Every structure is written in C-alpha cells, then in structure tokens.
C-alpha cells in the first residue's frame, strides 16, 4: 500500500477550483473537489495507473484525468506518492512547476 500525500500547492489548487466553481454553485464546487479527491484513492493500490505527463516525459511524474482537471502526481518511493498539482486540462503545465 502506498501513502498519498497532498502538497501545499495541490491543496491550494483544490481551494481555487472550489472557489471558482462556487461563484456559480457551491454545490458543484464541492462535488468537483470530492471527485478529484476520490480519484486519487485509486493510487493507493495502483500507483502507476496514470499516464506519464507529456510535457516532461518523466516516468515518476504521472497524471490522472478527472473531468476537466489533470491530477499530477509524483511517485516519490515505493511507499509514497505526492499529489503535486491539480491543473485545468485546457492549459499546458509549466515543467518548472513540476520540479
């Protein structure tokens, strides 16, 4: 089993997603955040589930897609995954952001 750790940036991204969607609907803002968080639970048993992030082509940086969002994570060790950022799928990721 793998421990999934959310970085400060990823938590901040979730908050920003909620706030943006909540401008029109607090309910849908909460639902989107829940969907994103729920999607990451699969990583506990299947850390290589996501595809390699195309912008960086590093096998340790992977992503899951949930709705319009890319959940970008790093396989830090055989027992730990870091959720690095949540990024809107319409935008390219700046490789510098991923370290």
Does residue 40 fall inside a structural domain? yes
> Chain-wide mean pLDDT for the chain?
93
Report CA 74 to chain centroid distance, whole Å: 10
In a domain, 64, yes or no: yes
Structure tokens, 89: 């799928």
Angle between helices 8-22 and 26-40 (to 10 degrees): 150
Quickly state the pLDDT bin for 82 (edges 50, 70, 90): very high
**Domains identified in the chain, total number:** 1
The answer to whether 72 and 80 have CB atoms below 8 angstroms apart is: no
In the structure encoding, which two tokens stand for residue 52, read together? 């390699």
Task: Answer yes or no: is pLDDT of 93 > 90.
Answer: no
Give the whole-number percent of the chain exceeding pLDDT 90.
84
- pTM here? 0.92
Cα separation, 19 vs 59, in Å, equals: 32
pLDDT in tens, 48-64: 999 999 888 899 999 99
- Host domain of residue 69: 3-91
* CATH (domain of 14): 3.30.2310.20
**Domain-embedded: residue 99:** no
pLDDT of residue 99: 67
Residue 62 lies in a domain: yes
């Amino acid at each position: 089993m793998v421990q999934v750790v959310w970085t400060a940036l990823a938590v901040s991204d979730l908050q920003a997603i909620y706030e943006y969607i909540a401008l029109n609907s607090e309910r849908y803002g909460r639902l989107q955040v829940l969907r994103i968080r729920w999607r990451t639970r699969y990583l506990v048993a299947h850390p290589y589930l996501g595809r390699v992030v195309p912008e960086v082509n590093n096998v340790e940086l992977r992503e899951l897609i949930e709705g319009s969002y890319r959940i970008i994570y790093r396989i830090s060790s055989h027992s730990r995954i870091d959720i690095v950022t949540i990024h809107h799928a319409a935008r390219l990721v700046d490789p510098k952001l991923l370290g």
